[in-house]
Amino acid sequence: MGAGPASEPGPAGGRQGRHCAAGRRGRGMGRVQLFEISLSHGRVVYSPGEPLAGTVRVRLGAPLPFRAIRVTCTGSCGVSNKANDAAWVVEESYFNSSLSLADKGSLPAGEHSFPFQFLLPATAPTSFEGPFGKIVHQVRAAIHTPRFSKDHKCSLVFYILSPLNLNSIPDIEQPNVASATKKFSYKLVKTGSVVLTASTDLRGYVVGQALRLHADIENQSGKDTSPVVASLLQKVSYKAKRWIHDVRTIAEVEGAGVKAWRRAQWHEQILVPALPQSALPGCSLIHIDYYLQVSLKVPEATVTLPVFIGNIAVNHAPLSPGSGPGLPPGVPALVVPSAPPQEEAEAAVGGPHFLDPVSLSTKSHSQQQPPMGTLGSVPGAPEPDPQDGSPAPHPLHPLLCISTGATVPYFAEGSGGPVPTTSTLILPPEYSSWGYPYEAPPSYEQSCGGVDPSLTPES
């Protein structure tokens, strides 16, 4: 699969390169002026099962004796107990293929090209990088020189995207509903309860798609509740010596509170930002989960809905939640409800009663930001979003790159902002400023049976 060198005259001088990723490194005159790996057609992202082809280029200022020239294609995962620490405590390998490009001999001065090709395994997992571990795929080349001479090495990272088809997940088109009842005391002698029910239109979404949330809050007490908050959470689990759970808030929206003896409904939506897919199939050391958490601080009540992030959208129309208070048919893509009506005097009613449900207003939304130059419209503002839940148009994707992990990097040029590649996926930001991970949110089953507030991640 490797071919012999194709020699051509080259310049007599240049910069020396020994251990380089791609291109020249070092200073002054040297025997090895250029040693780099390039992939065919400048590709960066590949799918499992695809051929990966490229060329190793060498430019010499003087003849170079060698024992062998080899190229290796590897895929592996490493996990650490400490954030941003490359000293892995657990590792696993997915593939490791090697080719000999040239046997023992001597390369004359000039430029030489060595083509190569590998077949990527169909089970290779998607590339990922997080604070406690990463999945890396790369091509490495080495010129092994005679004894007492230093070998020359270079490497090039490429990315694998194994698309997650949401339609392959069981019951993905079913309604996503959870409810919790919280009993509490107030004014020393009085008791009451709050019933919090939350639902989403689907269980799975793709980047740029609107996650439509409906919450129903029944305040069976004489005390007003605190504002209701909905958070899209990402939980990345790393299997080191023990499981490490890194939980962070991706997007958050806050609604108004519910008055005493009132029932209120809240409709909102969150645009799914650029996120790595759920699960990472093929990797046993890193697992990604997403949750939509709806909560009240006073009284403490929380429901958690698991959601999936994939690459191929759900192609079924959302089903009705049935008897639950999920999103009813005909609700527009973005609801801007009015403020709740003025509370009537409790003394005039002779006991608690509930009027028709009122609509809660939205107080804040983490995706409502000022427009930024060429970034286009504001994330979270009404977009021409299809009513059938299909993904938003491609231009939305770069707007929402606010989260962790992925497969394709941003390239920064000069002092300007990041410039995206043709792909919509990005690498994660710096993690050094992130705090230690919090505990993971409860499972779907735990949520349905009543959630322990101590499991809720802090802000």
Residue-wise pLDDT tens digits, 170-222: 989 888 999 999 999 988 888 999 999 999 999 999 999 999 999 999 999 99
- CB-count burial class (<10 Å; 0-12, 13-18, 19+) for 44: middle
Residue of 454 and 286 predicted with greater confidence: 286
Is residue 51 pLDDT above 60, yes or no?
A: yes
At 65 the three-state DSSP class reads strand
Compute the average pLDDT of residues 145-150: 88
Q: Which of 39-53, 67-81, 325-339 has the lowest mean pLDDT?
A: 325-339
Asked if residues 438 and 455 have their Cβ atoms less than 8 Å apart, the reply is no
DSSP annotation string for 197-243: EEEES-SEEETT-EEEEEEEEEEESSSPPPPEEEEEEEEEEEESSSE
Compute the average pLDDT of residues 367-391: 40
Residue range 32-160 forms a domain whose CATH class is mainly beta
Q: Output the average pLDDT for the chain.
A: 75
Compute the average pLDDT of residues 123-148: 95
Tokens of 313: 């959208």
SS3 string, 306-341, reads EEEEECECCCCCCCCCCCCCCCCCCCCCCCCCCCCC
Residues of the chain with CATH 2.60.40.640: 32-160, 166-310
Q: Residue 244: what pLDDT? A: 95
pLDDT in tens, 82-124: 999 989 999 999 999 999 999 999 999 999 999 999 999 999 9
For residue 286, name the pLDDT band (cuts at 50, 70, 90).
Answer: very high
Q: Residue 134: what pLDDT? A: 96
Which percentage of the chain shows pLDDT scores above 70? Answer: 65
Give yes or no for a cis peptide into 115 (omega within 30° of 0).
no
Range with the largest mean pLDDT of 173-177, 296-300, 315-319, 358-362: 296-300
For residue 280, name the pLDDT band (cuts at 50, 70, 90).
Answer: very high
Q: Residue 326: what pLDDT? A: 39
The CATH fold assigned to 166-310 is: Immunoglobulin-like (2.60.40)
Q: Which of 268-277, 300-309, 340-349 has the lowest mean pLDDT?
A: 340-349
Nearest-angstrom CA–CA distance, 219 and 222: 8
Q: Residue 374: what pLDDT? A: 29
Nearest-angstrom CA–CA distance, 86 and 381: 40
For residue 46, name the pLDDT band (cuts at 50, 70, 90).
Answer: very high
**Per the confidence metrics, is the pTM higher than 0.85?**
no
Nearest-angstrom CA–CA distance, 173 and 200: 11
Which percentage of the chain shows pLDDT scores above 90? Answer: 58
Positions of E strands within 228-300:
228-239, 243-255, 263-271, 286-296
Nearest-angstrom CA–CA distance, 97 and 170: 35
Q: Residue 259: what pLDDT? A: 94
Is residue 375 pLDDT above 60, yes or no?
A: no
Is residue 353 pLDDT above 60, yes or no?
A: no
